[in-house]
Each structure stands twice: as structure tokens, then as C-alpha cells.
Amino acid sequence: MENPFSYDHFVGFDWARDHHHVVVVDRQGRVLQQLRFEHSIDGWKAFDELVARYPSSAIAIETSSGVVVEQLFQRQLAVYPVQPRAAKSYRERKAPSGVKDDLLDAWALADALRVDGQQWRRLRPDDPVVLELRLLCRDQVVLIEQQTSLINQLRQALVEYHPALLDAFDDWGSPVAWKFLTEFPTPAKLAKTKDKVRRTILKELGCCRPDTIAQRLAALARPHLVVSDAVVAAKSLFALSLAHQWLALESQLKVYRQRIADLFEKHPDHELFGSLPGAGEKLAPRLLAELGDEERDVTIVQAYAGTAPISFQSGQIHKVRFRQACNKHLRAAVHLWADLSRLRCAWANVYYQQKRREGKSHACALRCLGQRWLKILCKMRSTHARYEEALHTQNQLRHGSWVFQLLPAKG
């Protein structure tokens, strides 16, 4: 880690969407220059002229990603990110009264880097494969959330005018249900169609199991309350609009899934992450994308993922609270991974059940399990070895782990 005190000048960068503020201080903390420039080609040229006057400088900024950081990386500048909460405390150090403006924020960041920067970690550009994979995975989650919103809206619409489809299809995450809706958007059209035709359409849409088709046909044949033609006309049009949106999103998500799989396959650690129990083809790329290529200490990784709690102790008071400052995307991926790992690993399920017996909530128990999994993952990355259940069991038994003492004896 580079020592920021080796720099001669320190730059505080307060960014916004359309303009930015910059303050430069020297080693003694004297303000040498201030600049407000627009987020445009001409504005960044003015910034380049300023930076050229101070070649030995480091930049403190209240973000670790985005278009501004990308511009700073293109200029090969030393960037040190600051957490928003830390930036607030640095500002309050300069203005205890609560005064706030953009230049004050930039000055506070520059002086904080000068005074406290020896403990900060310099931000490094990500590998292009990892960066693209991270952005794709995050955008994929956004599209999935939009699909979920469409499903919830459709369920409410069907309750009001077409409950037969709700009884027949309980999984609206499948294209089969949505395509069937486009075939029979109204109860009247469904009633005019014979069971033989319905069966044929269900087979064509992908319902191949005879018992599933029979259950759906029985649900469609049950009588339901009749609603007015006006409600049917309005809500059926709304339902069809939702269906077209969902199907369009699903087609785009197929493209995302393929692109993510291709990028994940290119990374040299894809087999390592792919061997993690419960990660699978969806979570393994997310974990790799959020952790990146840089190998970090296990305690840093656990704090970054939000599994490590915050401890507060003063005198006889000792409290432990949930960590808020972390990578939210990584925390969500680790939460899902830990939950799914219980189905694949006996020791993971035993560990989770023991935490539940200790009185911890479901989410807290999964964070504890995720904390343990991240320790294993960091060891795997340092040794460049895949996860092997037998090897892990052997190591834990050798160290006398309490988890494996609770496992039921085989045979």
C-alpha cells in the first residue's frame, strides 16, 4: 500500500452529476488552489491543467466507482475513496456548526487525506472482464426486480378479473404462464375453449408433465365469480401490457445470462468460484464480480461483505450491531449463497441450526454462516484451490471444530 504522505499535494474532489469542486492543499495543510468545473470536455481540460501543476498529488473522493472515477483512472491519478459516513465526520471536523457546501466538502477530503491517509487503501482499476461482469450482474438484478414488480401487479389484476389463471399457475416466474395469459386474456375466451385445446396449448408452451397439465386444467375448469364487462375490458388490457413487458424482459435476461456465463468462463478463477456449494451458475459470477481480482485479508473481505458485526465497548457496556457500511451487492450475494449452501453441505446446515438454537434470527444466522464461508473462500483464493468437501472436513476434524462434533455419525 502506497503511503499518501509520500505525495507533496493532496486533492479533495467533491463530485456531482453536472459539475465538480476541487481543492488542493500542501503538506502543511495550506489551501493552494480551488476549482469548480463542469462535467464536460472543456471542464475536464481545466482540471487537467490544474493537476499538471501538482504532479506529485493524491486525490480523495467520496465514491469508488462511476464515470468520475473512470475519468480519474484514465488520467492515471492516485485515487483514494472515502466512505460517505467518514466524509461526513471529516466535514464536521472542519465545521462543527453543521455548515455545508461543496468547497468545504472538497477541502475536508483533501485535508483528511493529508492527515489520516496513511491508513487508506488506494483504489486500483478493475480488470475489464471483472468490471463488465460486475456491471452486468448488478444490472441483471435490476431487471429481475422489474420482473418481480410486474408479477405482483399482474397477481392483483388477476384477483380482480381472472382468478382462474391464479389457481392454474402458481409460478409466474415461468414464461409458460405469461404466454398462456396472452392466449386467454379474458375469462370469456377461456370458457369458449375446450379442454382438449387447452391441453394442446399447455404442451406447446412447455408443460410436459401429465399430472401438472391435469392439475392446471382442473383449476381452469372450476367455476369463479363473474365480474362486469367493464372491469374485464380494462384489466385484461392492463394484464396484456404487463405480459408483453415481462416477456420482453425475459428475452433480454437470456442475453444477460449468456453474456455473464461467457465472461465468467474467461476468468481464471471461474472453476474456483464454481466449486462453491450453493453458488451455482447465478451466484458464483456475482461473488467473483464483487470481490474482484485483488486478494485481501479475510477480515477486510468480511467487513466489505457486511458479515462482520460492529462491536461497541465502553466500560461495562458492550454492544454488537449490524454493519451498515459495506458492499450491499456483495452482502446480498453472500446471504443467498449461505442460505443455498445449507442444502449442499451438512456442516453448513448444522452450523446454521446451532446459531438458530442460540436465539439468532434467520438473517443473523446466515450472516454468521456467510462469515465462515468467506474465511474458506479467502483461503481458497490464496492457495488457488477448488473447494473440496473431504479436504475441508479433514482440516476441521484435525483442528477440533465444534461444528463437525455435532454432525450425525455415518453408518
Residue 4, pLDDT > 60, answer no
Mean pLDDT of the 6-18 span: 94
pLDDT-above-70 percentage for the chain: 97
C-alpha cell at 352: 446454521
pLDDT digits (tens, 9 = 90+) for 23-49: 999 999 999 999 999 999 999 999 999
Report the C-alpha gap between 401 and 396 in whole angstroms: 5
Report the C-alpha gap between 63 and 61 in whole angstroms. Answer: 6
8 Cβ contact list (under 8 Å, min separation 6): 26, 27, 54, 56, 57
Q: How many residues does the chain have?
A: 411
pLDDT digit string (tens) for 346-389? Answer: 899 999 999 999 999 999 999 999 999 999 999 999 998 999 88
Cell of 270: 471461474
The string of pLDDT tens digits covering residues 43-73 is 999 999 999 999 999 999 999 889 999 999 9
Handedness of CA 48, 54, 57, 63 (dihedral sign): negative
DSSP 408: P
- Is there a contact between 82 and 62 (Cβ–Cβ < 8 Å)? yes
- Distance in angstroms (rounded) separating the CA atoms of residues 89 and 288: 32
- Give this prediction's pTM: 0.86
Burial (Cβ within 10 Å: 0-12, 13-18, ≥19) of residue 332: middle
Return the minimum-mean-pLDDT range out of 109-113, 166-170, 237-241, 327-331.
166-170
Q: Give the confidence band of 1 by pLDDT, cuts at 50, 70, 90.
A: very low
Look up residue 123 and give its DSSP letter: B
Of the two residues 2 and 47, the one the predictor is more confident about is 47
**DSSP state letter for 188:** H
Q: Nearest to residue 47, comparing CAs of 80, 11, 8?
A: 11
Taking the C-alpha atoms of residue 214 and residue 185, their distance in angstroms, rounded to an integer, is 21
Q: At residue 321, does pLDDT exceed 90? A: no
At 404, the pLDDT band (50, 70, 90 cuts) reads: low
Q: Which residues contact 294 (CB under 8 A, 6 or more apart)?
A: 124
Give CA 150 to chain center in angstroms: 21
Using 50, 70 and 90 to split pLDDT, how confident is the model at 410?
low
Domains of the chain by start residue, with CATH: 4-119 (3.30.420.140), 130-263 (1.10.287), 281-389+401-405 (no CATH)
β-partners of residue 312 are 319
Coil, helix or strand for 8?
A: coil
Pair 268, 194: CB distance under 8 Å: no
pLDDT of residue 411: 43
- Long-range pairs for 45-52 at CB < 8 Å and ≥24 separation? 47/20, 47/22, 48/75, 50/22, 50/24, 51/11, 51/75, 51/77
Place of cell 477541502: 107
- Phi/psi for 21 (5° steps) reads -120, 140
> Can you tell me which residue has the cell 485535508?
111
pLDDT, tens only, 281-320 = 999 999 999 998 877 789 999 999 999 998 888 888 888 8
